[in-house]
């Protein structure tokens, strides 16, 4: 991690998106309480994934502010974690939870995707078991086309404005951490 800390202003739009996703998740958990099984220690969704530039650099920034011993421990763990599991996961707990990317913030929530067969609502099989996808009101389903388009726009602006030498391509999370 040779890059310097970047100005917080570069992440303003990304932080705003994260805040909106967190607010949606909070509202869903409040509305469906006991039907939502996602909680600390549940890691069924935690796969190794790739991140956009804004997400990867944001994670690197969060890593840089950790105390040196925690940072080194996390980097060692990430470098030696398995290929399929998220390198930030230890004992089913995310080591950088506050900086987790968009996809991690949407795990478990009712999500709308556009597919070849038309719109599909999906949700973690552990959550909302008493409801069918069709029975949820539209306000309780997160439109992932909107989320992904917003993230792509934020990433495009970020990659145009970030300093030279900052990686500008989608990369595996482990690569953002250890390279």
Do 22 and 64 contact (CB within 8 A), yes or no?
no
Q: Distance of CA 83 to CAs 1, 25, 79, Å?
A: 21, 28, 10
Taking the C-alpha atoms of residue 21 and residue 17, their distance in angstroms, rounded to an integer, is 6
Q: Which sequence spans correspond to the domains of the chain?
A: 8-178
Min mean pLDDT across 33-37, 54-58, 116-120, 129-133 is at 129-133
pLDDT of res. 1? 47
Mean pLDDT, the chain, whole residue set: 88
């Amino acid at each position: 991690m040779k890059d310097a800390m970047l100005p917080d202003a570069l992440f303003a739009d990304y932080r705003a998106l994260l805040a909106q996703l967190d607010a949606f998740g909070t509202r869903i958990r409040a509305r469906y309480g006991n039907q939502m099984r996602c909680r600390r220690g549940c890691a069924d969704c935690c796969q190794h994934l790739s991140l956009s530039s804004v997400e990867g650099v944001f994670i690197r920034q969060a890593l840089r502010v950790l105390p040196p011993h925690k940072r080194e421990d996390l980097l060692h763990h990430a470098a030696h974690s398995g290929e399929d599991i998220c390198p930030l996961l230890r004992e089913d707990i995310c080591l950088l939870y506050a900086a987790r990317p968009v996809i991690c913030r949407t795990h478990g929530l009712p999500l709308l995707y556009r597919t070849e067969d038309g719109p599909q609502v999906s949700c973690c099989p552990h959550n909302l078991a008493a409801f069918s996808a069709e029975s949820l009101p539209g306000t309780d389903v997160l439109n992932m086309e909107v989320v992904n388009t917003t993230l792509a726009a934020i990433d495009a602006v970020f990659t145009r404005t970030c300093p030279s030498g900052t990686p500008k391509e989608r990369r595996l999370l482990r690569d953002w951490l250890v390279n």
